[in-house]
Amino acid sequence: MSQERQQELTQILDESGLPTVRTDDISLQFKEFFDAAGEWKEKAEALKVTNDDQVEEMAEARKGRLIMRDKRTGIDKTRKRLNAHIIIEQKTVNKLAKILTEAISPIEKYLGEQENFVKLRREAEEKAEYDAFLKDKAEKEEKDRIAAEKKAAEDKAEADKLAEAQRLENEKLKKEAKEREEKIAEEKADREQIERGKEILRKKKEAALKAESDKNAKDAREAKERADQAERDAKAAKEDAERLEKEKQDREDQDAQEATHRENHKKIYGKIAPPPELPVEGEDPQEPAPIGIAEESAPAGGTVEVSIPAPEPVNIPGPRTCPTCGQPLPQ
């Protein structure tokens, strides 16, 4: 072992405060370990293996390692052996001290109480007052705590009640809002349905009015057409009636004219000469020339002039001839 290490161990023993006999005994018990450590420290420093053929050095290293192992375990055994005496001594001393303390302490306490009677009584009274104060304080704090907890519970209950009421109110408002929205939507749907119905009715009414207007227009047009046709028919019927009346009158006039013509022809022309041509309708009639008629009673070589008025023109459709003489009759 190095000189510094040796001095360090010696210093530990000197500073331990143990009696010299005791430190000498401890030093003797560990002397062989001191010697072995010093011896093998020098050998270990001189031993250096650098290659495989240093067999003796490796054997010497093994030998030293085993010796150091034995010394190390020996140190621990010596420590335990020395401590065993110390532990037994310590336990014995502790037991004796405990017994003696238990015997002396009650006596000391009693004598102290007797010595400090006034002080202890005052301390006891002060302690009692302080304990009462602490008790009152604790009771008050407990009451305050209970009251605070009660108030907190009441506040919480009130808050919960208000929260529940608010929740119910919110649900009510939401429900009412939803009902209003549904009602508004329903009313809107109803209005839309009504508007659709009105629109359908309006279109139907417009269609009906248009149909009626078209029908009225058609009826009016047909009525006008019927009225115009009736007017035309009435006009045509009137014209036909007038025409027929005129034709009838013309026939009657013609028949009368023919009758007159035949009568005159029979009286005059039947024996003497054919009747002159009758004037055509639209032409100015000519005055007939005097016709000489030989009478048996007339003087010899004389004549009798007879003036015969010309017949009025007759409108007779188509060329016609006198049924008596065959002469053309005026148209």
In this predicted model, what pLDDT tens digit does every residue of 78-114 receive, in sequence order? 888 888 878 887 787 788 788 878 878 888 887 877 8
Instruction: Output the pLDDT for position 173.
Output: 92
What b/e string do you get for 261-297 counting C-beta neighbours within 10 Å, with b at 16 or more?
bbeebeeebeeeeebeebeeeeeeeeeeeebeeeeee
> 164 or 294: whose pLDDT is higher?
164
> pLDDT over 70 for what percent of the chain?
79
pLDDT band of 69, cuts 50, 70, 90: very high
Instruction: Output the pLDDT for position 294.
Output: 40
Q: What is the pLDDT of residues 149-200, one digit of tens each?
A: 888 898 888 888 889 888 898 999 998 998 888 889 988 888 888 888 888 8
Residues 73, 81: Cα–Cα separation, whole Å: 12
Instruction: Output the pLDDT for position 99.
Output: 81
268 secondary structure, DSSP code:
I
User: Residue 318: which residues within 8 A CB-CB, separation 6 or more?
Assistant: 331
Of 297, 293, 295, give the one whose Cα is nearest residue 307. 293
CA torsion, ordered 97, 102, 108, 111, to nearest 10 deg: -160
Average pLDDT score over residue span 226-239:
82
Instruction: Output the pLDDT for position 183.
Output: 87
The two three-digit tokens of residue 317, written as one number: 């459709």
Lowest mean pLDDT among 4-13, 53-62, 286-295: 286-295
Q: What is the value of pTM for the model shown?
A: 0.30
Host H or E run for residue 291? strand 291-293
Lowest mean pLDDT among 47-61, 249-263, 294-308: 294-308
